[in-house]
Structure 1
Amino acid sequence: MKFKQKRWTKLGLRPLQQLILAFILPLLFGCDQNLLIMASSSEAQPAPTPRQKPNPSPSKTQRRKQFIFKSANDGASGKREGAATRGCSSDNNKPRLTGLIPGKNMGLTMSDRPTFWFYVPYLASSTTPVEFKLTNFDDKEIYKQNLQLKNTPGIISITLPKNAPALELDQNYEWSLGINCDSRIDNVNGRIKRVKASAEVTKQLQENRGRDRLLVYAENSFWYETLTGLIELRRQNPQDEGLKEDWENLLKSNEIGLENLASEPIVPCCKPK
């Protein structure tokens, strides 16, 4: 202490100043040491990372657009369901012979040779006469095909072949399917019209694929493209529950009203005679 006093005296400090420094300097040195310790500890510990928000549920961010068909305003006379009592060999609990077409009995298409769909409740038989026929706006027969049932009961398809006359634009046609059961013909019929898609719809179809493309068809009343496309997509993806739900929603909608066919199988048929 005497040494320090002599040193401070040499510096020209008065006794009061010496006393103040004697108390302050140790405190200052202690603070510096504490600051160094805090700085080193802060450098040693990494800065806390900001808390990440959990990713939102895919069901909330990527909601599946509902499959809704908008029917055309045109309506037509027709009978898309067959008789209540049937011959042939069939299960009475099964739906009737049915043409898959909107409730107004009119369906639009873009194709010149579309695919037609029917539900056939009868068991396959080589002896059961089946006839598909297409007539034009002048009630003139333009195509007829005799068929042999195969793999039924189930939903079957009939596509106009290349040798059949192409459907003309903006013209109404009538199709019919008749099945001769024990000398009594059970038949269904309806109308089809080929129309040209607008430039906007054509652009949307070019920009979309798969299910999104089918939504464009459905929103613009193209029944035959919607139905055929959805069936083909389900065949390619038989385990897809979303497509199964689309199928059910399509058939049970108010525009279609064919919910009784939603669980029926789609079968390969038919063999021309």
Structure 2
Amino acid sequence: MKLNFHLTILATVALLTPIWLTSVVNAEIEISQLELIVQKTRFRTPDMRETSGRTTPGGTRGSFLSPENTPTALIPETNIGLTLAEYPTFFVYLPAMVGKTGEFWLVTEDGNVIYETKFTLVERNGIISVNLPDDGSIPPLKVGQKYEWGMAIVLDPNDRISDSLASGWVQRIEASPSLSQELQNTTPDNHPKIYAEAGIWHETLDSLAKLRQSNPNNSTFITQWQDILESVGLEAVADAPLLGDTNQLTQPPQKSGGSLRAPDTRESPLVPPPSAPTPRSNMRVPDMTPIPIPKGGGTR
């Protein structure tokens, strides 16, 4: 009888042990996920600012687009983002405007064009990325130098003053030895948080966007993306889908290098006086060929 009793106890323990272990593992996972929710990933914005860029609520000057129909440059509220890359990636929210043309440009502080490209908007609104070509066709960004970049939606090719515009600034810096070491000692899924804490904007978004694209159903990466954008005042587009880069859209031949005729600020009524910085929003740019390059103005 005692033997049967002991055997019964052992059999019961053997049956319950997997269930108990499963419960413990599930509890640990729930605790880990709860910690991620409580400890939001926030971007530590560097102490630097540009007076123009990003986006404004209310649309563009001279057009009657609602806020959800205007482009938004994904940059911090300071209107400038840092990068470590010679050829960084830029992110922009675009509304759904089938058949309309989008135009991207990158210029130096004195207005020399580094890169420009065109593409056709698609039927879905969302966030697109623009990758600078690293094939030697354009020069790399110089350390310590600021560049202005922008995105325009061409509403009427015959009336370029109606363009809906978003723009921002980028500056390349060198990684500190401690940052480089930290990145080398961690896995890629931890890189977005490291970049965010270091104030490196473009690598924060680029590394997190790649993680989201390779793991589309990972709720942790989705939450991190939303937390990052909300921490810099971009909650309006934090839930927008990622549409990929411009090469995945219908794209006509692109051009790079050269120089474009920038708008004459002495004649343009759209350029505000020095005491009134350009609002963080879309603004119209004067007609020019081939792509309008705003001078010190624009929107995020």
Q: TM-score, normalised on structure 1?
A: 0.72
- Ranges in structure 2 where 5+ consecutive residues have no aligned partner: 7-19, 254-300
**Deviation of 1:93 (Å):** 7.0
SS of 1:94's equivalent in the other structure is: helix
Aligned to 1:72: 46
Contact 1:77 1:190 survives alignment (8 Å): no
Q: Does 1:149 align with 2:130?
A: no
Q: Does 1:100 align with 2:78?
A: no
- What is the aligned counterpart of 2:169 among 183, 191, 202? 191
RMSD across aligned C-alpha pairs, in angstroms? 3.0
Within-5 A mapping of 1:38-187: 57-58=27-28, 59-60=30-31, 63-64=35-36, 66-81=40-55, 84-85=58-59, 92=66, 94=68, 96-125=70-99, 128-162=100-134, 163-182=137-156, 183=159, 184-187=162-165
Q: More displaced, 236-245 or 198-207?
A: 236-245
Give, in whole Å, the separation in 1 of the partners of 2:32 and 2:56: 45
1:208 and 1:151, CA in 2 relative to 1: closer, same or farther beyond 3 A?
farther
How many residues of Structure 1 are paired with residues of Structure 2 in the alignment?
223
Contact 2:95 2:125 survives alignment (8 Å): yes
Task: Show CA shifts across 1:72-105 (max 9, x none).
Answer: 1111122312673469xx9847353100010110
Contact 1:86 1:181 survives alignment (8 Å): no
Q: Does 1:201 align with 2:179?
A: yes
Give, in whole Å, the separation in 2 of the partners of 1:172 and 1:130: 23
Greater C-alpha Rg: 1
SS of 1:208's equivalent in the other structure is: coil
Give, in whole Å, the separation in 1 of the partners of 2:77 and 2:142: 23
Give, in whole Å, the separation in 2 of the partners of 1:133 and 1:77: 19
Q: More displaced, 136-145 or 211-220?
A: 136-145
**Deviation of 1:235 (Å):** 1.3
Give, in whole Å, the separation in 2 of the partners of 1:152 and 1:161: 25
1:168 and 1:137, CA in 2 relative to 1: closer, same or farther beyond 3 A?
same
Query: Structure 1 runs of 4+ off > 6 angstroms?
Result: none
Aligned to 2:222: 244
